[in-house]
Amino acid sequence: MNSKVIVDFKSLTDLSNWTVVDDVVMGGKSSGSFKLNADGYVVFAGSISHDNNGGFSSVRSRFQRIIVSEYTKISVKLRGDGKKYQLRIKAKASDDYSYIAPFLTSGEWQEIEISLKEMYPRFRGQILDQPNFSHESIEEIAFLIGNKKAEDFKLVIDRIELK
């Protein structure tokens, strides 16, 4: 099977291309961090708060356009905490909306595979009335947690690839 690695965190030492975006951008009090651990994986972790109408934390990376037209899935090797997260992509980094797919973690190492064509457009919590992802390329990838409850979270990520 043909695959293309988007990012392998074991070979990455610079996370400056990754940005944490929490609900503090709209007055909330959630906090997330994105750091390499001693084993060479990245850890997206923090705490979700509903204070001041908050309730989410996310981390994103913008990059030069990656052609995805010859692939059908995004695969993420990760170890979660049993909570639900979203994988988000943007065809253009400047787009206001993302294409999203929720996934549930098991608490163990797992490989999440998400069909690109099943990722649906969403903006500020609202599903948009337009087609699912069908673009030839992506310029941003993100992870988000926002389960409508106050909770701590921890997502350990090994690699992201196209299949």
Please give the domain boundaries of the chain with CATH numbers for all domains: 4-162 (2.60.120.430)
Residue 69 has pLDDT above 90, yes or no: yes
Higher pLDDT, 53 or 63: 63
Residue 57 has pLDDT above 70, yes or no: yes
Alpha-carbon 158 to chain mean position: 13
Residue 1 has pLDDT above 80, yes or no: no
What's the pTM? 0.96
> Six-digit token pair at 113?
């595979």
Q: Distance (Å, rounded) from C-alpha 132 to C-alpha 89?
A: 12
Please state, rounded to an integer, the average pLDDT across all residues of the chain: 95
